[in-house]
Structure 1
Amino acid sequence: MNDLILHIGSNIGDREENLSTCLRLLNIHCGEIINTSGIYATEAWGIKDQPEFLNQAIHLKSYQSPEDILKNIQKIECIIGKEKEFHWGPRRIDIDIIFYGKEIIETDSLVIPHPMMQKRAFVLLPLMDIIPDFIHPLLDVSIRKLTEDCMDSSYAHKIIVDPVI
């Protein structure tokens, strides 16, 4: 089985329910959930004039290939209702693959590790809850160090410490 680290976010509709539904569907379609971060309320990144996000990091074990994971994630986003009107715009659910073990993948449809994760506090803080000592396979630095060095000044506050899976 492979370790899969995902990041999920929602800023429209019932955000907590969107995350909860996403977790249930990930457990069915992608692999076994091993651990989840707390839930963080975060400022929108990129385009700030939109509702606050709820974000969470997920650690799963999966037998699926990265390409199959991507297909299943896209199905889950459709089921929940990904209604993204523009890049970095509001959405009911967004699911990103952050890491697939220590693999480095770069294709037209998939880049792992996620190429922007180290620049985003809203990704790093939830990752600190579940994999603080994991070493980024390209940057050769721990999540803890990436978080300490992150220049992102947008807010991210943990609002739910131990969410129910």
Structure 2
Amino acid sequence: MSQHKVVLLLGSNIGDQKKNLEEALNKIKEGGNEILKISKFLTSDPVEFVSSNIFCNIASIIFTHLSPIQLLDFVKSIEVEMGRVNDSRATGGYTDRVIDIDIITYDELKFTSERLEIPHQKHLFEREFSRILLKDFI
């Protein structure tokens, strides 16, 4: 099996955000993925919805054997396991969340499906906090 280099962006704005991010990274590692690099924590205001809860975000580079869809299913299972109850794609909008894990890049792949777009255009080009976190990763 080949290793794939993936950039993930993780965010949390409910509970102990830093602890949530660290727990999600541990679960990613426990799932057989190698974590190569983790950014510093960055706080940001919610984007595309209103909330009084500030986000804490990190970027991470991992190596994985999983395909893009397998990886998506895996990170979504982590979100559910950690208590995330509503996915923004399912609800059609953003809300507060204990954890959010987005796949930003996957090798040099360009991929679009109903559930996944790689590279993740909003994080690469539209969101200021993402550009700050990803500047040393992409």
Scaled by the length of structure 2, the TM-score of the pair is 0.89
Provide Cα deviations, 1:50-84, integer angstroms capped at 9, x if missing partner. Answer: 30000000100111100110010011001111134
Residue identity in the other structure for 1:92? V
Match of 2:126 in 1: 119
Aligned to 1:40, which of 42, 45, 55?
42
Checking the alignment, whether the CA contact within 8 Å between 1:30 and 1:72 is kept in structure 2 is no
> For residues 1-165 of structure 1, what are the structure 2 equivalents within 5 Å?
1-29=3-31, 31-84=33-86, 87-117=93-123, 118-128=125-135, 130-131=136-137, 134=138
Provide Cα deviations, 1:22-64, integer angstroms capped at 9, x if missing partner. Answer: 0100112261000000000111111133300000001001111
CA distance in 1, matches of 2:49, 2:67: 32
Instruction: Give structure 2 stretches of 5+ with no counterpart.
Output: none
Checking the alignment, whether the CA contact within 8 Å between 1:9 and 1:53 is kept in structure 2 is yes
Larger Rg: 1
Residue identity in the other structure for 1:20? E
Scaled by the length of structure 1, the TM-score of the pair is 0.75
Q: Secondary structure at the match of 1:116?
A: helix
CA distance in 2, matches of 1:28, 1:98: 21
State the number of aligned residues.
Answer: 131
Residue identity in the other structure for 2:101? I
CA distance in 2, matches of 1:41, 1:69: 26
Q: CA shift at 1:111, angstroms? A: 0.8
Instruction: Give structure 1 stretches of 5+ with no counterpart.
Output: 135-165
How many percent identity over aligned positions? 28
Q: CA shift at 1:123, angstroms? A: 1.1
Root-mean-square deviation (CA, aligned residues, Å) is 1.5
